[in-house]
Structure formats: structure tokens, C-alpha cells
Amino acid sequence: MDGITTFELLDNNIKQAIKQTGGKPTVLEALWDGDTEGWYLLLNLYMDKGQYLRLGTVDPRLFSHEKTYPLEATLANKWGWKAVEKYGLTFYFPSDKEPDDDCPSWKDRHLGIQCADCGKLIIPKKSAHLPQDVCYNCHLTREVNEKIRTSAPVDGVYMYLWKGEVYESIGYATYFKSFNISEFVNEKVQRRMMDDVICMVTLDQQDIIELKEQLQQTIDIKLAAYKIPELDSRREKFATFKTVEYNGHQHKFLIEYNSDRSGIIDYIDSLRTAEKALLEGFVYRIFFKRKFTYREETILRFVKYVSKGAADISAINQRYVGTLSAEEVMDTLRHLEQLNCLSIYMQEARVTPLGNNIV
């Protein structure tokens, strides 16, 4: 089906529908559909004599500089109301804020119920695991709020190159074992760990020299054994190739489902990081967050990302109204202050460098 990039194109399609059916448009319908490639917003038209026509999908390509999400919804809203003005039709867009394929079509809308939280019209999912009275999006929001209320624990590991004031992020993972260098340095790291909520382990230049050697050995062994595998037609569909330089030679790797399953490219990336550290005088700093609560995590994120590093305590209260009491917010802020993640002065909470490094 054709992508619709402008209101003019949509309008042309409506005019054509009028010509084709000899009728009058009564309802313009915008419905989400999704597959493995992502979400699509379909535009359909109902005519006064009962005909139903597919007009196309909203194609936001020309507007990709705009930042509102999802762009398709913003465009459909704009175009839909223009169509209302021009044709006096009804614009039916049941999920105009986020993708959702549980909404009924215009003709099935009598089968829908209103989401108890956001009011959106939905057809309840036939699943015993999902609540029947809210849409999927609100279900997820409820789950998050429940984690905030009950203070569920959250783990995380943040790895940086560090020199003086400079932190360069290497990566984040829930568990240390997800970093491919963990197989070489895990014992060392475990020995240096303290039993703190937030604990920092450093790998100094000597550690990095050893790490670099181990990475090189591993890459050499894996490269010697690597052959691009034969592919059947299904795997071929998800395959591309990537060429990477190592030791002055170009090596070609198979990438399937966005991943090089041999892992060699990732080892080469880790080697580059180690080489950069040695060349430019960085060390590794690894932050472990344990027994941290989801409540602390979300409030720290709110101050760091939403409030750009500093937030009025009243704004934090406002954000969690209905989920946390002002007292619970204050207790959490005090605890984050004790952990040296936030500083509190007057009525303002500010993220510290440590807080900055762990969310």
C-alpha cells in the first residue's frame, strides 16, 4: 500500500474515492497495525453508501526532522482535522497518542470498552495474564508505578573510561557478565568489590595491558577458526556482511539478526577501547549498582534526564503524585543524598557526578 506523505496526497485519494464510488465520505479512520518491521498507521475511508476504502499508510518521511513521537500520529491528527473541515466527515482515531492495535475499527466500535485509565476505546485482550479493563500502554504504566510503590530492587553495571574530570561511557548492562571483557577480568573485579549499594572498581593501566593481551589471543584463536557459515534461504533474509580491520588485514563477518554471532567484532571493539585507554592514559571505572531500588532509580532519572540535572522538590512530588507521598519522595531523596547521588540544597535536588554515572 502506498505511503501518504502530505495532506494533498491524502486529499487526492479522498477525491478519487468519491469519484470511484459516486458517494460522500462519512468517516476517516486512522488505525495502527504492527509487524516485525514496526508500526504502521493506516488511513481508511467509509462512504455514505456503505463502501469502505483503504487510502494508504501515513508516511512521515518528509517530516522526520520533527521530534514529536509518534510522528505518524501528529500528522494523522493534523490531516484528519483538515479533512473534517473540508468534507464535514467524522475523524475516528482511537489511539492518537501511541501505537496500539487493540482498538476497534469504526464499524466494530460498539464492541470496544473504554480503558479505565486513559479512556481510549479498546477491544479487551483474550489473555488471562493481562488486565481486561486497561489498554496495554496503561497496563505497562501501572506495572511501573507498582514497582515504584513497592521499591522493587534494580541492578546495573556502568563501565567508563576515566581520566581526570572526563568520563567516556563504554556501556551499560544489567549484569557484568554481559560485557565481553568480564571473562578476562571478572575474578579481579570480584576481589576488589565492596559490599556497598554503589561500588566502584578501577582497572588500572597494568590491568589494561593484560586485558589487551587476552583480547588479542582470543581474537586470533577465533579468527583462525572462523568461516562464513552457509545459509539457507530463511537465514539469508536476515543476513548482511561487515568488514573489520584487524592487524592490518580486512576480515569479513556475517551479521545475522543484527548480530555477529561469532562475537569477533565485539572483541575487536573491546580491544580498540583497551588500546585507546593505554594510548590516551585512561583507566576503566566500573560502577556496580546493587540493592538500589526502582524508586531511587526512577527519581534519579527524573532529576537527571527530565529536569536536566536539577529539580525542585515540588516538581518531583508533582511527578509522582498518586504513586508516592511527599514523605516517601523526601525519604528517597535523603537516601540518594546519603549515597552521594544527589545533593539537596534549599528546595532543590541536584545530580552529583556519581549520580550522573549510574543512571
Residues binding Zn ion (CB under 5 A): 115, 117-118, 120, 135, 138
| Closest distance to Zn ion from the beta carbon of 115 (Å) | 3
Would you say 106 or 136 has its CB closer to Zn ion? 136
Give backbone dihedrals phi and psi of 218, rounded to 5 degrees, phi first. Answer: -60, -45
Would you say 138 or 311 has its CB closer to Zn ion? 138
Distance of CA 189 to the CA centre of its chain: 29
Would you say 131 or 153 has its CB closer to Zn ion? 131
Would you say 118 or 283 has its CB closer to Zn ion? 118
In angstroms, the CA 218 to CA 13 distance is: 59
Residue with cell 548480530: 259
Number of H helices, E strands in the chain: 11, 16
29-67 CB burial, b ≥16 within 10 A, e <16: bbbbeeeeeebbbbbbbbbeeeeebebbbbbbeebeeee
| Closest distance to Zn ion from the beta carbon of 299 (Å) | 24
| Closest distance to Zn ion from the beta carbon of 146 (Å) | 16
Q: Which of 94, 95, 78, 97 is nearest to 86 (CA)?
A: 78
| Closest distance to Zn ion from the beta carbon of 319 (Å) | 19
Would you say 133 or 331 has its CB closer to Zn ion? 133
Residue 277 DSSP one-character state: H
| Closest distance to Zn ion from the beta carbon of 118 (Å) | 3
| Closest distance to Zn ion from the beta carbon of 135 (Å) | 3
| Closest distance to Zn ion from the beta carbon of 136 (Å) | 8
> Does residue 25 sit in helix, strand or coil?
strand
Would you say 138 or 286 has its CB closer to Zn ion? 138
State the maximum Cα–Cα separation within the chain, in Å, rounded to a whole number. 81
151-190 CB burial, b ≥16 within 10 A, e <16: eeebebbbbbbbeeeebeebeeeeebeebebbebbeeebe
Are 189 and 179 in contact, with CB atoms under 8 Å apart?
Answer: no
Would you say 39 or 226 has its CB closer to Zn ion? 39
